[in-house]
Structure 1
Amino acid sequence: MHLEQQLIQRLNDLSPIHLEVVNESSGHGGYFPGKESHFKVIVVSDAFEGLRLVQRHQKIYAAAGDLLSPGAIHALAIHTFLPSEWTGQATTSPDCAHAPKSD
């Protein structure tokens, strides 16, 4: 099973009302087709009720578990929201300093 599918499966344990998992590996150095190393997740869930941002991120890290290990997911951009906070806002990730250069 691909890393992206495994990550989706694990994050579904947080009972999200909205979940996006985006493979952003192509924007990073050393990319090749099929590479799965850099992801962005957007998770909207009641599971974050009463939690500070760092605690929400800790829940994501705990759910991802061993997927965040050498040879697996190298970087994970995390965007967490309560349903009352989520308005469909855009979430962007910073450009990678080692991204492939356009000619």
Structure 2
Amino acid sequence: MSSSSSIHSSPNRASRIKEKLEKELEPVELVIEDVSYQHAGHAGMKGRGTDEETHFNLKIVSKGFEGMNLVKRHRLVYDLLREELDSGLHALSIVSKTPSESTR
């Protein structure tokens, strides 16, 4: 597993996302990329600072996705991150795979 140890304090959104996904999905691979800087000027970002964590690319490989189609996988991730989405996470690009799919 490429995941690091648990995070006890969650100073930023990326850390909170990581903590929630690791706890619930036990990923064998988890990559979280903050791409908020690429969206600083668009309409959904008006009035927000340039340092806010609002847009992320997420790659997650987990056995927890086995037997799920893509829509169900994404719904699961969105459900796990509902609190973040309700508190300023604006967009999430998700690549979700099972371990067998990631080796192809």
TM class, shorter-chain normalised?
0.7 to 0.9
- 5+ residue gaps, structure 2, are 1-10, 42-48
TM-score by length of 2: 0.76
Aligned residue number for residue 28 of structure 2 = 17
Aligned residues: 86
Question: Counterpart of 1:16 in structure 2: which amino acid?
Answer: P
Aligned residue number for residue 8 of structure 1 = 18
- Using the TM superposition, give the Cα deviation of residue 84 of structure 1 relative to its aligned residue in structure 2, in angstroms: 0.8
Q: Note if contact 1:8-1:21 (Cα within 8 Å) is conserved in structure 2.
A: yes
Aligned residue number for residue 86 of structure 1 = 102
Larger relative helix fraction: 2
- Using the TM superposition, give the Cα deviation of residue 63 of structure 1 relative to its aligned residue in structure 2, in angstroms: 1.1
- The 2-side partners of 1:42 and 1:22 are apart by 9
- 5+ residue gaps, structure 1, are 89-103
After TM superposition, list the pairs within 5 Å mapping 1:24-63 onto structure 2: 24-30=35-41, 32=50, 34-63=51-80
Q: Helix, strand or coil: the match of 2:33?
A: strand
**Runs of 4+ in structure 1 over 2 Å off:** none
- The 2-side partners of 1:35 and 1:10 are apart by 19
Q: Over the residues paired in the alignment, what is the CA RMSD in angstroms? A: 1.6
Aligned residue number for residue 81 of structure 2 = 64
- The 2-side partners of 1:68 and 1:87 are apart by 30
- The 2-side partners of 1:9 and 1:72 are apart by 17
Aligned residue number for residue 95 of structure 1 = none
* 1:12-56 Cα deviation digits (max 9, x unpaired): 120100001100101113462x32000011000000000010000
- The 1-side partners of 2:31 and 2:82 are apart by 18
